Amino acid sequence: MLQGYQSWKFDSRPAIAGTAAVVGPEEGRGPLGNDFDIVHGDLSLEEKTWEKAEKKLMEEAAKLAIENAGVTKEKINFYVGGDLMNQIISNSFAARTMAIPYIGIFGACSTSMEGLAVASMMVNARHADYALAGTCSHNCTAEKQFRYPIEYGSQKPPTAQYTVTGAGAAVVTLRGGGPKAPVVTKATIGRVIDMGIKDPFNMGAAMAPAAVDTIAAHFRDFGIEPGHYDMIVTGDLSNVGYHIALELMAKHRIPIEQTTYGDCGLMIYDRDKQPVQSGGSGCGCSASVVYGHLLKKVRTGEIRRLLAVATGALLSPLSFQQGESIPCIAHAVAIEYGGD
Amino acid sequence: MLQGYQSWKFDSRPAIAGTAAVVGPEEGRGPLGNDFDIVHGDLSLEEKTWEKAEKKLMEEAAKLAIENAGVTKEKINFYVGGDLMNQIISNSFAARTMAIPYIGIFGACSTSMEGLAVASMMVNARHADYALAGTCSHNCTAEKQFRYPIEYGSQKPPTAQYTVTGAGAAVVTLRGGGPKAPVVTKATIGRVIDMGIKDPFNMGAAMAPAAVDTIAAHFRDFGIEPGHYDMIVTGDLSNVGYHIALELMAKHRIPIEQTTYGDCGLMIYDRDKQPVQSGGSGCGCSASVVYGHLLKKVRTGEIRRLLAVATGALLSPLSFQQGESIPCIAHAVAIEYGGD
């Protein structure tokens, strides 16, 4: 059901029956390395191009999520997927391999929760028995497309973020996952927010206002406060954006101190030991942290109520070249322990 | 409700309360010129770049569709939009202007019906009071991004298609549009189909198998035949693809002769008099033909049951350069006369 102006309440309690997260070497070396289903030791995944490697990450995560849900791909009615590549080719080509009816989406790095929200809505409304949501990113494809090929060895400012090499996927259904499977209970779809920032090496600062706008809308639409959740995570604001988000929440009197507030871009790497500047970013950042790491804690009940707020910067290299500022968005999904 | 494997049946009868189609000069000169809400005499729309012109087309169509629906933009819960531009910037920037919660989608030229299907599902399932679906394309942005800037004056083979300069938008709701407003009754989400065609100057041939796959799935899921509809239109197969689709339907024993079968890419231009090679293409093609021209006939009851099957080629310039063939998709939406 529509709740408030821009949110959904999922009364049918759609369950996340299976997830998977597949990452690259840098992510495997990070603090969450043990939580990922597959860690690749080589960025190329033995493919001839970075783009083919990214597609393979997505295919592996999708295949494994379906297996972990205990079903076959023929049971999946719809695949909701997208990524950062021009024309979302990683997901479109993965959808070709899987031959599952496909709803292509794009929300930059917010694609992870956009996909989970849409998949959960379809299942909640009985417009799908099984829906698969997935997204991915690859450090070398994103750097090449949005900035410079990594082979150039160009330098970066400390506000820059490091695109995660990773893919995450989740199977949503009313028909499985066991009695304690995590349940998707709420979602809030974000508006596009643009505070005039034009620096593509400072995405965190650009995205923080969008994250706070969606978080505020979520609390307003449901009449709740941050304390409703055990944990709130933003997608990939990383160090710069995380602190701006904290300031903005204080300014807007959102009592974030009631809960544990984290950011996927800060969680996936050890910034003291890894060369990631402000932290992680990319569609694969929130997808792999939520599906690989956080849902493990929701499955055991260590986290009973999680709000995942994935953030995205909706610029293109062309819009930047034409002097446009960076429009940003964030989508929030609430995931709860299924044993309650 | 889910119907069969990959289709939706909309029991709540979501209505299309308002639509708008805004096009450029070549489309205005075509056979449907009088049906469009706004015809621009100049391709630039008095903007400094082609991309800004494309965004303006989208903003105008969205604004007008909302006005035609008799509501204000504050009533619209969700905007479901996408386009051909890298990172779908035309729609993301239009969503910034409108400040409506935004679900970015991408299905290449199938985006028109992907958006209408998702918007109708949300409204049908009462996850939105009002949802806006929109998409656009511009001849000069698409040619520049996918092939060559038109200023180069490069030659084209007769199988090439001419990207429509146009935008279309529709407001879907359970709360308005009058007793005879067109009703969205069914949708079928397509699988990605790739028959190995690699020539980006022959999109129609690449997309035809996807159109036929979705049409076949639609009839299978609902247990109906082409005669159920007064008219079936494909998105933008144009002359080459249209005839391949006819052959494929004959091969698969789909009795398409029971109904009137047309193609938006053939309808929007007069190929004898306009320099469009095989016909029209682009997200704006099916959007402007369906929302501008065909829905007028559904509103009067001249067409009582329409099946619109928008087709999309999910390639990118990079996937082409890397030797990949063209994955294609088609999404079908059934729209019926509301007075029955």
B116 interfaces chain A, CB cutoff of 8 Å: no
What does pLDDT average to over chain A? 97
Residues B204 and B166 in one domain: no
Number of folded domains that form chain A = 2
Q: For testing the chain B interface, which of A48, A106, A129, A321 should be mutated: the one with the most B CBs within 10 Å?
A: A106
Asked if the model's pLDDT at residue A292 lies above 90, the reply is: yes
Strand (E) or helix (H) holding A185: strand A183-188
pLDDT one-digit tens code per residue, B261-292: 999 999 999 999 999 999 999 999 999 999 99
Write the CA distances from A204 to A9, A245, B147, B220, integer angstroms.
Answer: 29, 9, 34, 48
Percentage of chain B exceeding pLDDT 70? 100
Asked if the model's pLDDT at residue A202 lies above 80, the reply is: yes
B52 interfaces chain A, CB cutoff of 8 Å: yes
Sorting pLDDT into bands at 50, 70 and 90, what band is A339?
confident
Residues A263 and A204 in one domain: yes
A178 domain residue, yes or no: no
Mean pLDDT (whole number) for A15-22: 98
A316 interfaces chain B, CB cutoff of 8 Å: yes
Here the tokens at position A47 are: 């493919």
Residues A190 and A329 in one domain: yes
B162 domain residue, yes or no: yes
Contacts of A14 (CB under 8 A, 6+ apart): A120, A123, A124, A172, A173, A174, A183, A184
Mean pLDDT (whole number) for B321-340: 95
Contacts of A93 (CB under 8 A, 6+ apart): A55, B314, B319, B324, B327
Sorting pLDDT into bands at 50, 70 and 90, what band is A55?
very high
Write the CA distances from A329 to A309, A312, B96, integer angstroms.
Answer: 10, 5, 9
Residue B76 in contact with residue B132, Cβ under 8 Å?
yes
Nearest CA in chain B to A102: B191
Residues B161 and B198 in one domain: no
Q: Looking at residue B93, what DSSP letter applies? A: H
Residue A177 in contact with residue A69, Cβ under 8 Å?
yes
Q: For testing the chain A interface, which of B192, B193, B316 should be mutated: the one with the most A CBs within 10 Å?
A: B192
Q: b/e map of A9-35 (b: 16 or more CB within 10 Å)?
A: bbeeebbbbbbbbbbbebbbebebbeb
pLDDT of amino acid A176: 81
Residues B45 and B123 in one domain: yes
B317 domain residue, yes or no: yes
- Report the alpha-carbon distance of residue B224 to residue B69 in Å, rounded: 32
* Cβ contact, residue pair A102, B189, below 8 Å: yes
Residues A164 and A222 in one domain: no
CA distance B11 to chain A (A): 11
Kindly report which listed range (A143-152, B50-59, B165-174) carries the lowest average pLDDT score: A143-152
- Report the alpha-carbon distance of residue A333 to residue A135 in Å, rounded: 15
Residues A167 and A55 in one domain: yes
Q: Is A269 helix (H, G, I), strand (E, B) or coil?
A: coil
Please state the separation of Cα A320 from the chain's center in Å: 23
B12 domain residue, yes or no: yes
Picking from A141, A173, A205, the residue at the C-terminal end of a domain is: A173
pLDDT of amino acid B207: 97
Strand (E) or helix (H) holding B72: none
User: Is A180 exposed, middle or buried, given 0-12, 13-18 or 19+ CB atoms closer than 10 A?
Assistant: middle
Residues B63 and B165 in one domain: yes
Residue A276: name the closest of A197, A165, A191 by CA.
A165
pLDDT of amino acid B339: 86
pLDDT one-digit tens code per residue, B63-94: 999 999 999 999 999 999 999 999 999 999 99
| AA identity, residue B34 | N
B51 domain residue, yes or no: yes
Asked if the model's pLDDT at residue B178 lies above 90, the reply is: no
Residue B340 in contact with residue B116, Cβ under 8 Å?
no
Residues B140 and B197 in one domain: no
Mean pLDDT (whole number) for A201-225: 97
A280 domain residue, yes or no: yes
pLDDT one-digit tens code per residue, A308-332: 999 999 999 999 999 999 999 999 9
Residue B309: name the closest of B189, B184, B175, B173 by CA.
B189
Percentage of chain A exceeding pLDDT 70? 100
CA distance B48 to chain A (A): 10
What does pLDDT average to over chain B? 97
Sorting pLDDT into bands at 50, 70 and 90, what band is B176?
confident
CATH number (domain holding residue A323):
3.40.47.40
Mean pLDDT (whole number) for A98-117: 98
Here the tokens at position B71 are: 């509501």
pLDDT of amino acid B183: 98
A1 domain residue, yes or no: no
B178 domain residue, yes or no: no
Residues B168 and B189 in one domain: no
pLDDT one-digit tens code per residue, A139-197: 999 999 998 899 998 899 999 999 999 999 999 999 888 888 999 999 999 999 999 99
pLDDT of amino acid A192: 98
Residues B111 and B197 in one domain: no
Asked if the model's pLDDT at residue A38 lies above 80, the reply is: yes
Question: End-to-end alpha-carbon separation of chain A, Å?
Answer: 21
- Report the alpha-carbon distance of residue B205 to residue B130 in Å, rounded: 37
Mean pLDDT (whole number) for B182-194: 98
CA distance B262 to chain A (A): 24
State the virtual CA torsion across A258, A260, A261, A262 in degrees, nearest 10.
Answer: 180
Asked if the model's pLDDT at residue A340 lies above 80, the reply is: no
Asked if the model's pLDDT at residue B309 lies above 90, the reply is: yes
Strand (E) or helix (H) holding B228: none
pLDDT one-digit tens code per residue, A242-265: 999 999 999 999 999 999 999 999
Q: Whole domain around residue B244: which residue ranges? A: 183-336
Picking from B173, B202, B220, the residue at the C-terminal end of a domain is: B173
Asked if the model's pLDDT at residue B100 lies above 90, the reply is: yes
Residues A194 and A167 in one domain: no
- Report the alpha-carbon distance of residue A101 to residue A104 in Å, rounded: 10
pLDDT of amino acid A175: 87
Picking from B173, B208, B226, the residue at the C-terminal end of a domain is: B173
